[in-house]
Structures are given as C-alpha cells and as structure tokens.
C-alpha cells in the first residue's frame, strides 16, 4: 500500500498511474489530471465560498492562486513522492508544470480510491488553503501596475536568489518601479513578487498621506 501525505491507497494502481508521465507510457496521468483539475477547482471554490464573504472577483483571485502551477508544484514537492515518478528518457526533469499536473492527477487518484469527502479533506490538508488572509497581497501586482501606467513607468521583477531543497525552496525577488524598489522572500516566487509589490504600495501610500 502506498501512503501519500495523510492518505493510504487501498488500490495502488491509481497512484501509480497518477505518477506516470506520458513520456514513459501511453497509460499515464493525463486522464486523471483532467478529472483532478475539476475536483480541485470545485473544492477550493467551495472552501472560500463557505469560509469568506469575499466578492466574486476576490474569490476568483484566491482560487486562481491556490490552484496555480506555482502553488501546486510546491504542494507536490511537499508530498515527497518524486522518487515514485516514472519519466521516459525524452523527459529530462520534473518541471513545475509536470508537478502541477501530477498533483491534480493525485487528487483524482484519491477520489477514485475513496470518495469526494475524503478527497476534499486530502486537498484541504495539503494545499496551504488556510492562508486566506492573502487577498490584499494577491492584488498588489495589478495595483502597482496600474499606478506605474498612470505615471508612465514600468514595473520589473528580478529573481535575486533561490535557496533551499527542491521540496522547500525560498525565492528572493526585487520589485522596482522608478526610484522605488523593495525585496521580499517567500516559498513561492509569485508570492514574493506580490509581497515586494505590496511593500512599494505601502511606501507610496505613506508618501501620499
């Protein structure tokens, strides 16, 4: 029996298929990914609908972040199942996109091996979804871009450093617009960019006051 995070598979064929890339076999994760993507979207949307009173726009931003390749690739790494992945010779590495797809396939595998209720618990236990206080943060890049365009400037984001193991990386990013620049470090590059943008917006707000 294969154990993934807090779930033990009753039928290992599902998890084995979820971790088989198309470069290795014609029987691979792609159909599972299709199903898992839909389940993931539903569970995440339902969670935020039930647990927040946010507008449709903010709900969409929250869901988009938590089901993004940036986030799901980190979630995949934290499952510590890379050693079980089957790749063909034509596929040289586990890219962010493949990790994301395989996590979606794992979601479908858990569902087929159990039921929707168990699958929902698996998702919520692994996807860092408790960080729902990030709504303002997730909007920071678009707000800074709007300010930059209004002032005829451009915003740049530069990856300064990436550290740590593949299952627990940290990204240090610099955001810069005009004379303003800020640096932030997070476990996802996208969030580091948002955080740095938020820090610049905070400075602009103080100066406006």
Active site residue: 33, 37, 101, 186, which one?
A: 37
Active site residue: 33, 77, 101, 104, which one?
A: 104
Q: Is 50 a catalytic residue?
A: no
Rounded distance, CA 196 to CA 88, Å?
39
Rounded distance, CA 200 to CA 194, Å?
10
User: Is-contact 41 69, C-beta < 8 A?
Assistant: no
Please return the burial class of 206, using the count of CB atoms within 10 Å of its CB with bins 0-12, 13-18 and 19+: exposed
Residue showing tokens 């972040």: 65
Q: Is 41 a catalytic residue?
A: no
User: Is-contact 79 4, C-beta < 8 A?
Assistant: yes
Nearest alpha-carbon partner for 43 in 18, 62, 70: 62
User: Which sequence positions are flagged as catalytic?
Assistant: 37, 104
């Amino acid at each position: 029996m294969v154990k993934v995070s807090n779930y033990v598979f009753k039928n290992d064929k599902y998890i084995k298929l979820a971790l088989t890339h198309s470069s290795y076999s014609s029987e691979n994760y792609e159909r599972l990914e299709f199903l898992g993507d839909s389940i993931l979207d539903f569970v995440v949307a339902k969670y935020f609908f039930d647990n927040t009173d946010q507008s449709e726009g903010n709900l969409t931003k929250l869901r988009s972040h938590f089901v993004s390749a940036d986030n799901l690739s980190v979630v995949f790494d934290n499952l510590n199942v890379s050693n079980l992945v089957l790749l063909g010779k034509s596929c040289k590495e586990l890219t962010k996109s493949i990790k994301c797809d395989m996590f979606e396939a794992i979601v479908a595998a858990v569902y087929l091996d159990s039921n929707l209720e168990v699958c929902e618990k698996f998702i919520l236990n692994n996807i860092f979804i408790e960080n729902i206080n990030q709504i303002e943060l997730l909007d920071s890049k678009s707000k800074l871009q709007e300010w930059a365009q209004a002032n005829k400037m451009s915003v740049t984001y530069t990856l300064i450093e990436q550290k740590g193991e593949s299952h627990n990386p940290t990204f240090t990013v610099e955001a810069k617009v005009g004379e303003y620049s800020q640096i932030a470090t997070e476990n996802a590059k996208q969030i580091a960019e948002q955080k740095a943008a938020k820090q610049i917006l905070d400075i602009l707000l103080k100066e406006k006051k």
